[in-house]
Amino acid sequence: MPKKNKEDAPVKIEEDNKIITPLKPEEINFNNRQVFLFSDIDDKLAKRIIEEVTALDSIETTPITLRIFSGGGSVPAGLALIDVFTMLKSHIITIVLGQAASMASVIAVCGSYRIISKNSLMLFHPLHGGLSNDYYKYQKDRVKAVDKINNICDKIVKKHTKLTKEQWDKIDNGELWLTAKECLKYGVVDKII
């Protein structure tokens, strides 16, 4: 039975009483050249990702996988990431999981090889600030985006439940949201997983 160390992380004790401390998930991912963009893009996130990819690139030049689940964020921080990716000797493989919206979608399409999971969406829109009344200008597009997300969720839930079509509310608004199939069709990604 595994014992726990002082940090309550499970450890395995072998027959010769050697304690093996397991690696943390982030250490395993780093060792496997996996980097995660799983939040809004800001200067702090960009700094972390730049530090990770440049460190990995300095060790060896095999591909680095960037997994993306983000609603977007700072354009300058995102552009800094893209610029650094172009300076690396290692190829960057991007994998969209769930969504890559706004600046995250721009980063995703810059991968050397671009992958999207089958239930993911990507959003592209023109730059706009949140300080003006531009929300109303894009209201129709936003309703369409929610509708596509609901359709994907509906398919998943319908597969596992017996809810009727009448039990689901549909929303009709959005920007340019693309499903995984649409991303493949229009050359936004190279593969659907």
pLDDT digits (tens, 9 = 90+) for 129-186: 444 455 566 777 767 765 665 555 344 434 433 434 443 333 334 455 667 887 787 6
Exposure string over 105-116, b if 16+ CB within 10 A, otherwise e: bbbbbbbeebbb
**Strand intervals (E) in 38-152:** 64-70, 92-101, 113-116, 121-124
Question: 185: which DSSP letter?
Answer: H
Q: What is the pLDDT of residues 14-49, one digit of tens each?
A: 666 666 677 888 888 999 999 999 999 999 999 999
pTM: 0.69
125 is catalytic: yes
Same domain? For 83 and 163 the reply is no
- 75 and 40, same structural domain? yes
Quote the distance between the C-alpha of residue 80 and its chain's center: 17
- Please give the C-alpha separations between residue 165 and each of 119, 148, 157, in angstroms, as whole numbers: 19, 15, 11
Host H or E run for residue 157: helix 139-160
State whether 109 and 90 are in the same domain: yes
Q: Could you tell me if 121 and 135 lie in one domain?
A: no
Say whether both 22 and 43 belong to one domain: no
Residues 94 and 156 in one domain: no
Mean pLDDT computed over 59-71: 97
Residue % of the chain over a pLDDT of 70: 63
Catalytic residue (one of 70, 102, 105, 120): 102
The one catalytic residue among 125, 128, 132, 160: 125
Provide the domain limits for residue 6: 1-32
Closest by CA to 61, choosing from 94, 89, 93, 26, is 89
CA–CA separation, 143 and 83 (whole Å): 33
Q: At 59, give phi and psi (nearest 5°).
A: -80, -50
Number of domains composing the chain: 3
